[in-house]
Structure 1
Amino acid sequence: MRVGPRRGESAGGLREWADGVPGPAVRGRVRAYTGYREESPTPADRWEAPAGELILIVGFGAESRAQPEAGVGEPQAYTSFFAGMNDRPTRIAHDGHQFGMQIRLDPLGAYALFGPPMHELANRTVELSDLLGADAERWAGRLSEAPGWGERFALLDRLLAARMAAGPVPSPEVAWAWRTMRRAGGAVRVADLVTGAGCTHRHLLARFRDQVGTAPKTAARVLRFERAARLLARGEPAPAQVAAVCGYADQSHLTRDFARFAATTPAAVRRAAP
C-alpha cells in the first residue's frame, strides 16, 4: 500500500510526505518507507529515543545533522546516513530544508543489508557511503530522478532486495530470539531466550551482538521502553499502569528507563499526548 503524497504547512513553510509499505521481497526485514520534502524557515533540533527499528536516510541533496555517537558531542552534517541500534538518545537537527527518504529497518534486515558486525555500528551514525560504497550515491541519484513517491518506493524494494539477497543470513537462533523478544514487547527473560534458542548463553550473546547490535538484555530494555512510550504517547493509562503492563518491576523502574533512553519522564510524555 502506498499513501500520499500529503501536503501541509510547517512553521510558515510547506511540507510534503508519503508513506509506503515495503513489497513482499523485503517485507519483515524492512518495516516502512517515508518520503519527505520540507521547505521551512524554521530550523529543527530534537532528540530521538532508541527504538527497535533502525533508520536509514537517503538524502537528495539537503543535509541533516546528527551526533556521530549517540548522546555525545555536536551533530555533524550528513546527506545520507544509517543509525545503528542505540541505547541512549541521539540529537538530530536540520535547517528547515529536507528532501529524501527514510527507511525503517528491522535490525536483522540491516545486518543482511550491510554485513559488518552490527555491534560496530551501535550508538553510531554512519555516512551511507561508508557502508554501501559507490552504491550510496547511485541509489540517491536513481531515487531522486524517479517521477514520484510510488516509483521511488518500488525502486527501493528492488535495490534493497538485491543487496539483501547477496548479504549474510541471520542465524536461526538469533532470528528466533529477536522475533520472540519483539512479540513480547521486550518483557522476556534472557535465560528463557537461551533455553528456547537451544544454545549456550555465551553463544547467543555473541551472535546477537553481531547480528542485532547490542546484548539481548539491552535490546529487550529498548523494546520494553518503546512499548511503554507508545502507550503513554496515546495518553491512555497512567505511568503506574504502564509499568505493570510492560513488565517493569515498579514505576520507579519505568522512570529510570525513560531518563536513560529519552532524557525525559513518563509523566511528561503522557502530558504531551494529543
Structure 2
Amino acid sequence: MEAMWSFAARTSGSAVVLPDGRCDIIVRNHSRIPDQITPIITGPATQPYRVDYETGDQWLGIRLRPEHGAALWQGNLGNAPDRVLRGPEAMDCLPSLAALHGADLTLDALAHTIPAQNWPDADPRLSRAIDILHASGGRLRIEALAKLVACTARHLNRIFRRNVGLSAKSYAQLIQFHRTLKLITEGNVPIIAAAFEGGYSDQAHMARTFRRFGGFTPSGIPTDLSLPNIPSK
C-alpha cells in the first residue's frame, strides 16, 4: 500500500480530484449516522472528477501502489480505468467490505479487507520501471525504459496493463503532468519554462495534456484542486 488517508468535512463544498493512475479503496459515511457506510473502489484514473461533500461527511481511504491495482480488481483490471464502484458493486468486487461497521471503522480494518491471496507477487521489472519513471519525471521514452529493466517495450506494456491497468506511456504521461503542475503551482516556474523543464515539445503540447488530465489550461489552474501526493523529482 502507498498511503492511508482520512478526511472529515467541516463545511460543505466540492473539490476537483486529479487522476494519478492508482486504485483506491474508500469508505464514506456521515458523523450523524456512522453505521451507514458506502464502500467505494476506484480504478486507475486518467480523468479529473469533482467530489461534492457536506458538513459531517467522513472518508477513510487506502491508496495502493500502482503495481498492485490487480489486488482490488483481479481479472477485471483491464476494464477498471476511470471506473468507480459504489455500494453493492464495490462489495461484489470485494465481498469482505460487507463486514465493515462504520461506528468503529479504522484504516487498519479497511486495509485488511483485501485478502492475502489477492496480492500478486510484483514483477521486479515493473517496480523498477515505475521508480525510474518517477525519477525521470515521466520524461523517459518507453523504449529506453524497457531497455533499462531488461525487457522489450511490448512486454513492459503488457506488464503495466496487467498490474497497473494502464499502458506504460499513459502512466508516464500522468507523472509528467503532475511534475509540471507542481513546477507551476509550488515552484512558481513560468509556464514557458515549465513546458521545457517538464519535457513537453512545446507550450501547446503541455496545454493539451493539462486539458486531458486536469480539464484546465496551464494559465487557468483552479484553486480547489486536490493534488495526490505522488512521488516526483
Do these two structures clear the TM 0.5 threshold for a shared fold by scoring above it? yes
Cα root mean square deviation, aligned: 2.7
Paired residue for 1:59?
28
Q: How far apart are residue 271 of structure 1 and its match?
A: 7.8
User: What letter is aligned with 2:94?
Assistant: L
Higher strand share: 1
**1:1-274 to 2 correspondence within 5 Å?**
30-38=1-9, 40=11, 42=12, 44-60=13-29, 79-127=38-86, 128-133=90-95, 135-138=96-99, 140-141=100-101, 144-145=103-104, 152-156=106-110, 159=112, 163-164=115-116, 166-234=118-186, 236-269=188-221
Alignment deviations for residues 176-218 of structure 1 (CA, whole Å, 9 cap, x no partner) = 2222212222111100122123223322222211111111111
Alignment deviations for residues 89-131 of structure 1 (CA, whole Å, 9 cap, x no partner) = 2233234441230222222233234423422211111233132
How many angstroms apart in 2 are the aligned matches of 1:218 and 1:107? 12
The 8 Å contact of residues 117 and 210 in structure 1, kept in 2 or not, is answered as no
Q: Secondary structure at the match of 2:154?
A: helix
Paired residue for 2:231?
none
How many angstroms apart in 2 are the aligned matches of 1:124 and 1:180? 27
Q: Secondary structure at the match of 1:115?
A: helix
| Length-normalised TM-score, structure 2 | 0.80
How many angstroms apart in 2 are the aligned matches of 1:181 and 1:208? 12
The 8 Å contact of residues 22 and 69 in structure 2, kept in 1 or not, is answered as no
Question: Whose RCO is larger (CA < 8 A, sep 6+)?
Answer: 2
Provide closer, same or farther for how the CA distance between residues 271 and 163 of structure 1 changes in structure 2, counting only shifts above 3 A: closer
Provide closer, same or farther for how the CA distance between residues 163 and 271 of structure 1 changes in structure 2, counting only shifts above 3 A: closer
**Runs of 5+ unmatched residues, structure 1:** 1-29, 63-77, 147-151
| Length-normalised TM-score, structure 1 | 0.69
Q: When the two structures are aligned, how many residues end up with a matched partner? A: 217
**Runs of 5+ unmatched residues, structure 2:** 32-36, 226-233
